[in-house]
Amino acid sequence: MNLETLANIGEFLGGLAILVSLVYLIVSLRQNTVQLSENLKSLQRSEQRATYEQHDRYRAATLDPDIANLWLKGLAGELNEQGDRLRFDSLMLMMTYSSENNFELTDQGLDSDGQGWERIAVRIASVYDTPGGRRWWERTQSQFKPGFVESIEAHRQTAQAG
């Protein structure tokens, strides 16, 4: 075997090693893509489950007649006692943070059908159009993310126009 034959064999083996490495990288990338997709789906399910659980807690709270009356009086702007206003503010804050979470899930594409926010946005915006809701929203909207506030305001304007 001469030097030229050895060089050709070495070049062939080097090319083969590069080809094997590329095939390995392609297979690895495909596996990673599948795994990332599965992780994203799992995250979506987890986020939606947490959101549904939070909404279930709100619904359960409204089954209590005292809380339901507090909520209705608060929305009507008829709360005179400081303690009642504090409880109403807390309910509004919890509802709004939950709504902002829904907005972000949809905005980031983590909502399974991309419509989670739209399904509730009109109802949430209508809460902010009640006398008590409007006062609360005007006082506190600055503590929420700008995109969420813009979306709420757009839904409020659409509801007022229609």
Q: What is the mean pLDDT of residues 136-161?
A: 91
Q: Where are the beta strands (DSSP E) in 20-149?
A: none
Sorted by where each begins, the domain ranges of the chain are 43-161
In whole angstroms, give the CA distance from residue 72 to residue 61. Answer: 13
Rounded Cα distance, 148 and 13, in Å: 58
Reported as a pLDDT band with limits 50, 70 and 90, residue 134 is very high
**Torsion 141-81-94-125 (CA) sign:** negative
What whole-number distance in Å separates Cα of residue 28 and Cα of residue 46? 27
Per-residue pLDDT of 20-67, as tens digits, reads 899 999 989 999 888 988 887 787 777 777 767 777 777 777 788 888
Report pLDDT digits (tens) over 81-117. Answer: 999 999 999 999 988 988 888 888 888 777 666 667 8
The mean predicted confidence, pLDDT, of the chain is 86
Q: What is the pTM of this model?
A: 0.67
Q: Residue 142 gets which letter from DSSP?
A: G
**pLDDT of amino acid 50:** 73
Among 139, 161, 141, residue whose Cα is nearest residue 151: 141
From its phi and psi, is residue 109 left (phi > 0), alpha (psi between -120 and 50) or beta? left
